[in-house]
Amino acid sequence: MPMTGVLRPGHAQLRVLDMEESVHFYTNVLGLKETGRDKSGRVYFKAWDERDHNSVILRQADRAGMDFFGFKVESKEVLENLDKALKAYGVTTERMPAGEMMETGERVRFKAPTGHTFELYAEKNHVGNGLGDFAPEAWNPDQKGISPVRMDHALIYGKDIDGTRKLFEEVFGFRVTERVKLEDKTTDLAAFITCSTKAHDLAMVRHGEDDKLHHVSFRLDSWEQVLRAADIMTMNRVSIDIGPTRHGITRGATIYFFDPSGNRLETFCGGYEWYPDMHEITWPVEEVGRAIFYHDRKLNEAFLAVVT
């Protein structure tokens, strides 16, 4: 496995406008499991097959968006080493004490050049997926709504995507899987990067405003599950941005939709497995429509404009 010490996206803290409406949506429509509430009023969720205590945290605020995105690392030793590596790279880091987030150990927090707050952590309590570790059943019948397998990745928007990409490549060992090039054939409009065998663990698009969220994505097992997710969205009158369709980039089958606060989320399945000996894929800007929405072959108005 081309693991780098950074294991995977581990948590995203999202701002919501109305907590109870949002808890209903994230529990009964998206189908995450609520795992706790803390003193500050934040509500914690996990997807059914995730083993750690939480992957989505909601905080009530007066505007939507993402507070921070966290990556789980392999061990406390890796956490210390990556903190040192960030400082050596010229990045200021901050320690968030263990327990500041429920069931989560100490976190190393930093700002990326695109203005986004990222975190690394090594410890989050294992609560399991309800199936046990000994001779488990195949899936848990106690599921509501869309019920994704896991929180999978995020797409962020900001100005200096070169700086953020380089930081993740040079400090954490992420690798670029795909890029979209602007007309000059040099400048990246978008970059997709991985720390695993996934086609992307984080993606970024060049945008005039920093610290913006395009979407947080949740993985489903099959195309049938993606179609079922679209049915559940219609049954609940969820605002759908686009889909079900397929991305040319990563080849994932997708739906973009909005939570009640206007945060864009994605449910998707598929995409190829990536290995470090694979060649990077490049898309010219003239093909960006097919790259993002393979069937429509054009971007919709919202893709570039609507971010939180």
Looking at the annotation, which residues are catalytic? Answer: 153, 200, 215, 247, 256, 266
Please give the size of the binding site for Fe ion, defined by CB under 5 A: 2
Residue (104 or 196) nearer to Fe ion, CB: 196
Strand ranges of the sheet holding 33-37, from the earlier edge strand across to the other edge: 33-37, 43-46, 56-60, 6-16, 65-73, 117-121, 107-111, 93-96
Which of 138, 151, 132, 147 lies closest to 72 in space, CA to CA? 151
Q: If binding is defined by CB under 5 A, does position 178 make contact with Fe ion?
A: no
Residue 256: half-sphere exposure toward Cβ, Cα within 13 Å = 21
CA pair distance 47, 34, nearest whole angstrom? 9
Among positions 13, 129, 217, 261, the unique one binding Fe ion when judged by CB under 5 A: 217
The distance of closest approach from Cβ of residue 196 to Fe ion in the complex, given in angstroms and rounded to an integer, is 15
Residue (108 or 202) nearer to Fe ion, CB: 202
**Residue sitting closest to Fe ion (CB):** 217
Residue 134's Cα: distance from chain center in Å? 30
The distance of closest approach from Cβ of residue 216 to Fe ion in the complex, given in angstroms and rounded to an integer, is 8
Binding piece for Fe ion, criterion CB under 5 A, among 76-84, 211-219, 280-288, 298-306: 211-219
Residue (82 or 292) nearer to Fe ion, CB: 292
The residues in 233-292 that bind Fe ion, with binding defined as CB under 5 A, are: 266
Residue (7 or 202) nearer to Fe ion, CB: 202
The distance of closest approach from Cβ of residue 305 to Fe ion in the complex, given in angstroms and rounded to an integer, is 17
Residue (126 or 251) nearer to Fe ion, CB: 251
CA distances from 93 to 156, 242, 251 (A): 20, 37, 35
The distance of closest approach from Cβ of residue 307 to Fe ion in the complex, given in angstroms and rounded to an integer, is 13
The distance of closest approach from Cβ of residue 60 to Fe ion in the complex, given in angstroms and rounded to an integer, is 25
Binding interface with Fe ion (CB under 5 A): 217, 266
